[in-house]
């Protein structure tokens, strides 16, 4: 049992290092404008649970950068990142719920996600909250 715990721990460390490297390489490709390579690398990192990669790849699906525009897929990527507390993903989830683009329209969910991001000091979230209908 002891060896199993050590083995699982080593796998988790390897996956974390691999996800971080894939994310870094994906961001370098993104910054250089190679969106297709960025999407491929960020997808691999996102599949390993990297929340930063999930958030960036989700935004790429919203914008159609290196991938076909697909807001439902964007929402599926952004939600776990938002649930982990990623403010960028929280803002995007708020927008998707507000517009009903990729999700069902749900003003309360929009407010929930935007309030979480605004509480972290995100100015865009604060601005968007002011545009929501009153409770």
Q: CA 85 → CA 1, 28, 88, 118, distances in Å?
A: 34, 24, 9, 12
Model confidence band, residue 2 (pLDDT cutoffs 50, 70, 90) = low
pLDDT at 116: 97
What share of the chain in percent tops pLDDT 90? Answer: 79
User: At how many degrees (to 10) do helices 35-47 and 51-63 cross?
Assistant: 140
Task: Look at residues 79, 34, 89, 87 and name the one whose alpha carbon lies nearest to residue 56.
Answer: 89
pLDDT in tens, 102-121: 999 999 999 999 999 999 99
pLDDT beyond 80 at 6: no
Find the domain containing 124 and state its range: 2-131
Q: How far apart are the first and last CA of the chain?
A: 54
Do residues 87 and 117 touch, judged by C-beta distance below 8 A?
Answer: yes
pLDDT beyond 60 at 9: no
Measured CA to CA, the distance from residue 100 to residue 105 in angstroms comes to 4
pLDDT in tens, 51-75: 999 999 999 999 999 999 999 999 9
Handedness of CA 35, 36, 41, 46 (dihedral sign): positive
Model confidence band, residue 4 (pLDDT cutoffs 50, 70, 90) = very low
Do residues 128 and 97 touch, judged by C-beta distance below 8 A?
Answer: no
Q: What is the CATH number of the domain that holds 90?
A: 1.25.40.10
pLDDT at 3: 47
| Number of domains, the chain | 1
């Amino acid at each position: 049992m002891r060896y199993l715990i050590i083995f699982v721990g080593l796998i988790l460390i390897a996956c974390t290092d691999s996800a971080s490297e894939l994310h870094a390489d994906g961001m370098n490709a993104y910054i250089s404008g190679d969106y297709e390579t960025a999407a491929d690398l960020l997808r691999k990192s996102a599949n390993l649970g990297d929340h930063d990669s999930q958030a960036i790849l989700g935004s790429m699906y919203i914008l159609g950068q290196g991938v076909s525009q697909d807001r439902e897929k964007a929402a599926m990527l952004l939600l776990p990142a938002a649930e982990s507390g990623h403010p960028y993903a929280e803002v995007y989830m708020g927008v998707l719920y507000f517009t009903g683009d990729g999700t069902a329209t749900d003003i309360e969910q929009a407010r929930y996600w935007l309030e979480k991001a605004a509480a972290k000091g995100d100015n865009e979230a604060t601005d968007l909250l002011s545009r929501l209908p009153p409770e």
